[in-house]
Structure 1
Amino acid sequence: MNPLLETLQNLLQTIDNLIWGPPLLILLVGTGLYLTLRLGFIQIRYLPLALSYVFSRNKKPSSGKGDVSSFAALCTALSATIGTGNIVGVATAIKMGGPGALFWMWLAALFGMATKYAECLLAVKYREQDANGQMLGGPMYYLEKGVGSKWLAKLFAFFTLGVACFGIGTFPQVNAIVDAAYLSFEVPPEYTVVVLTLLVATVTLGGIKSIANVASKVVPVMAGFYILACITVLASQASALPNAVSLVISSAFTGHAATGGFVGASIMLAIQSGIARGVFSNESGLGSAPMAAAAAQTDSCVRQGLTSMTGTFFDTIIICTMTGLTLVVTGAWESEYAGAAMTTYAFASGLESSYWGPLMVSVGLMFFAFTTILGWNYYGERCITYLFGVKAIKPYKFIFLVLVAAGAFLKLDMIWLIADIVNGLMAIPNLIGLVLLREVVISESRLYFAQLKQETNVQEQQTA
């Protein structure tokens, strides 16, 4: 490698380690912990209510302004978060930090639910309409209208646009789809790229309604398919499940010595790996999900906040847990494999099939990665609209499709580093906004739950 390029790459690696080091992780978890305490453990007390809002969507139609239903907005957000992180990220965390990393993923998700609630509440409260009549919302708008800082809002939009075009939204997902298609079905990368680009174009050119329509159908099916596959493996290894759970909890506080192909991990490494990968998977605090939440048809910012916080519950508490326990019960975490290869090995071992196991992982990866591209395409569109207006949407979509098509053929490590850096940077303005607008979140929540309690009391009196 050229000495100058090597120096630049080392510098970027140092910056990446600094950004995703303890300070940002402490800020992310600390914000979630603060909101959890001030909101009275809202993610536990009101989780049943939040889930009822999600699953009773057909009984009570959505009301209020918005582009798509509350459920479709949730699925759009989930389409971006349920991705390679649920398969590759969990394996990476456990490979680095041992089984205990899964426990710290749970903790990050628990506090992250409060963060997701707050940011999506603010997104609906401060949203507005663009020149095309579509809803605009997210950290850009509550930073500008709530905090009163336009430069922080633009900074967030700029970083998020970078993530959509050069990070989570394109290259990692395209590479995952191309590799999975080739390994499982021997489809040449060129063919996969053509089909993928056409599919992305077909869906994304229709805007949020088209993306939400696809997401609300594909996300539940793909998540259910993957969970069923995990349950099948866990059922076949049922006798090992209690010990696996015990190992996860004990390793979280004691670390884990080297065994088999595993290199051993300290408690700090388990904490850092678990929290970092958990945040990468569910994106709580990064500010991405609020942009989807702002499009929801709702007349209550609190109700949408409750609906949106279930995204972290589904993504990490359920799906990441399924992956993690599958890796532990099958012993795959001690193997020499890493990333997707480790998860593939776990399914092959658990299902006792060298064909169906890897096929399930490959199909899951392709669906997860495809919907992540759709979700992040929308996030990029909202940011480009904020920065340059609706006239910039069509050029953005064209550039995005070019990047999707080129993604399979780009293998530059420096691009991944830049993407990871920008991904971390987008969280900082958002977290600043959440901290400064914390009293707005708390007052809106108290007002909503007081009204809800009053309505419940009236209904009880009427039925008595």
Structure 2
Amino acid sequence: MTLHQFIAELNSIIWGPATLVLLVGTGVYLTWRLQLIQLLRLPMALGLLFKPAQGKGDLSPFAALCTALSATIGTGNIVGVATAIKIGGPGALFWMWLAAFFGMATKYAECLLAVKFRTTDKHGRIAGGPMYYIEKGLGLGWLAKLFAMFGVGVAFFGIGTFAQVNAITDAMHIAFHIPTWVTAIALTVLVAAVVLGGVSRIAAVAQKLVPAMAIGYLLACLWILGLNHSNILPAIELVLHSAFNPTAAAGGFLGATVAMALQIGIARGVFSNESGLGSAPIAAAAAKTNEPAEQGLVSMTGTFFDTIIVCTMTGLVLIITGVWNGDAAGAAMTSAAFATGGNALIGQYLVTIALVCFAFTTILGWNYYGERCWTYLTADRGSRVYQLIFLSLIAMGAFIKLDLIWMLADCVNGLMAIPNLIAIIGLRQVIVSETQGYFARLRLAGVPA
């Protein structure tokens, strides 16, 4: 059995029915227990983005969200959506929506727990995330260490390095004919300049770059949708139909079953928004707030922005332009969509610039996540060793094949999610009581809640 075959087999096991039921089931349960919090409290959550920071912490709530979004808005929004639709057909986009809707409740819960159980390390920095609420909340130190090991694995071999670096080097080579080794060196130097400055520098870059790149990309998508507005309604109808019916082969598309659309849609949705993965809580824990539930509300908007808005825009552009059933794949498929729906030159460079920005910020965010997992495992020692390994893997990631990268990323994603979801389920009463207490305090203070 080759390495490729082994990872493919492992991936099918990790992302089998059990994991999908655990992921979506946790979100469904929390949606019920928290009384549709992701829908009914979304306006309030969006308003909290602009509330001044109050309480102990390293970052403002908005900076913590931007740090988390820097890791979530990445290649999953461009390459991941294209891959999902290429494999599972337009119906995969529906399952991404569903995963995101229930995932918002999961994101709320895990980020609430991160603030609830956070602590301070020996350097005076806030330390929090699933490893802490698993250990302090559940009392399962071995499971906390397992999560941290998987977290380092994702940072080193999954979302954090290989998938992003490969996407950047490929895009720069195709658009600007820059040799892969040149991009790899330049990227390594740029990442080093930011991440060696710690979470404050990462957050400072994220606060400026994340909103700008997201707004710019959305405007470009709206431009394509505006030029092809007559195809929007048929595209949505195709998404809904394909979600529950097999997608017939057409053009370069080989056809897809409903099960395939469901599996790839949920897997890519989780890869994109990271709900239930346990990554965003690491950034959320650093927020300056005294209310765990408040940061949970702020953090759940990340899933809304990432999947419900950005991924939807990408998916609709791919479908209305018809490139999803062509021969292109990955970033080339998204680039072809912008070229077909708008202008060839603009499409090529716009997607390249967006992809590079998205992937670069994801590398920064995952460097921080991986480092916090690393310091948890090593009792707050060896940060410099971690940084050197991370930077060396960035340089290596440019030379690994795309399909192998995505399968490897899916594997470590799933492994990281399982301990986190176990903790969320085990601490469900804490989540519910903390939420009820927060809204009760708001009512007593005369604040509409």
Which bracket does the TM-score occupy, shorter chain normalised?
Answer: over 0.9
Q: Map 1:100-115 onto structure 2 (within 5 A).
A: 100-115=91-106
Match of 2:14 among 12, 19, 23: 19
1:50 aligned to 2:45? yes
1:333 aligned to 2:340? no
**Is contact 1:204-1:377 (8 Å) kept?**
yes
Structure 2 residues without counterparts, runs of 5 or longer: none
Q: Secondary structure at the match of 1:168?
A: coil
Distance in 1, matches of 2:406 and 2:341, equals: 32
RMSD over aligned CA atoms reads 1.6
**Is contact 2:267-2:410 (8 Å) kept?**
no
1:436 aligned to 2:426? yes
Same amino acid, percent of matched pairs = 62
Give how far 1:410 is off.
3.9
Query: What do the CA deviations read for 1:157-187 (whole angstroms, capped 9, x no partner)?
Result: 0011011012111111111111111111122
**Is contact 2:163-2:405 (8 Å) kept?**
no
| CA pair 278-329 structure 1, distance change in 2 beyond 3 A | same
Give how far 1:419 is off.
4.4
The aligned amino acid for 1:317 is I
1:283 aligned to 2:240? no
The aligned amino acid for 1:76 is T
- In the alignment of these two chains, the number of paired residues is 449
Give how far 1:7 is off.
4.6
Give how far 1:213 is off.
0.6
| CA pair 407-383 structure 1, distance change in 2 beyond 3 A | same
**Is contact 1:162-1:419 (8 Å) kept?**
no
1:138 aligned partner: 129
Q: Secondary structure at the match of 1:456?
A: coil
Query: What do the CA deviations read for 1:67-88 (whole angstroms, capped 9, x no partner)?
Result: 0110010011111111111111
Give how far 1:418 is off.
4.5
1:196 aligned partner: 187
1:257 aligned partner: 248
| CA pair 197-115 structure 1, distance change in 2 beyond 3 A | same
2:394 aligned partner: 404
Distance in 1, matches of 2:397 and 2:88, equals: 30
Query: What do the CA deviations read for 1:419-460 (whole angstroms, capped 9, x no partner)?
Result: 432221111100000000000000000011111123236x89
**Is contact 2:166-2:402 (8 Å) kept?**
no
Q: Map 1:224-239 onto structure 2 (within 5 A).
A: 224-239=215-230
1:381 aligned to 2:376? no
Deviates more, 1:13-22 or 1:426-435: 13-22
Query: What do the CA deviations read for 1:176-216 (whole angstroms, capped 9, x no partner)?
Result: 11111111112222322222111111110111100001001
Q: Map 1:238-387 onto structure 2 (within 5 A).
A: 238-351=229-342, 353-387=343-377
2:117 aligned partner: 126
The aligned amino acid for 1:186 is H
Give how far 1:413 is off.
7.1
Deviates more, 1:273-282 or 1:319-328: 273-282
Distance in 2, matches of 1:263 and 1:392, equals: 48
Distance in 2, matches of 1:111 and 1:164, equals: 25
Distance in 2, matches of 1:66 and 1:97, equals: 42
Distance in 2, matches of 1:321 and 1:416, equals: 20
The aligned amino acid for 2:426 is L
The aligned amino acid for 1:270 is A
Distance in 1, matches of 2:231 and 2:403, equals: 39
Give how far 1:391 is off.
2.5
Give how far 1:9 is off.
4.3
Distance in 1, matches of 2:401 and 2:91, equals: 32
Give how far 1:284 is off.
0.4
Q: Secondary structure at the match of 2:56?
A: coil
Distance in 1, matches of 2:405 and 2:170, equals: 18
Deviates more, 1:104-113 or 1:414-423: 414-423
Query: What do the CA deviations read for 1:8-38 (whole angstroms, capped 9, x no partner)?
Result: 5433321211001221111100000000001
Q: Secondary structure at the match of 2:344?
A: coil
Query: What do the CA deviations read for 1:87-113 (whole angstroms, capped 9, x no partner)?
Result: 111111111222111111111100000
Distance in 2, matches of 1:69 and 1:24, equals: 34
The structure whose Rg is larger is: 1
The aligned amino acid for 1:397 is Q
TM-score after normalising by structure 2? 0.97
Structure 1 residues without counterparts, runs of 5 or longer: 1-5
Q: Map 1:18-167 onto structure 2 (within 5 A).
A: 18-54=13-49, 56-57=50-51, 61-167=52-158
| CA pair 280-447 structure 1, distance change in 2 beyond 3 A | same
Give how far 1:280 is off.
1.1
**Is contact 1:97-1:274 (8 Å) kept?**
yes
Distance in 2, matches of 1:201 and 1:177, equals: 16
Query: What do the CA deviations read for 1:239-278 (whole angstroms, capped 9, x no partner)?
Result: 1111111221122222322222222222222211211111
Distance in 1, matches of 2:402 and 2:165, equals: 14
Distance in 2, matches of 1:413 and 1:44, equals: 36
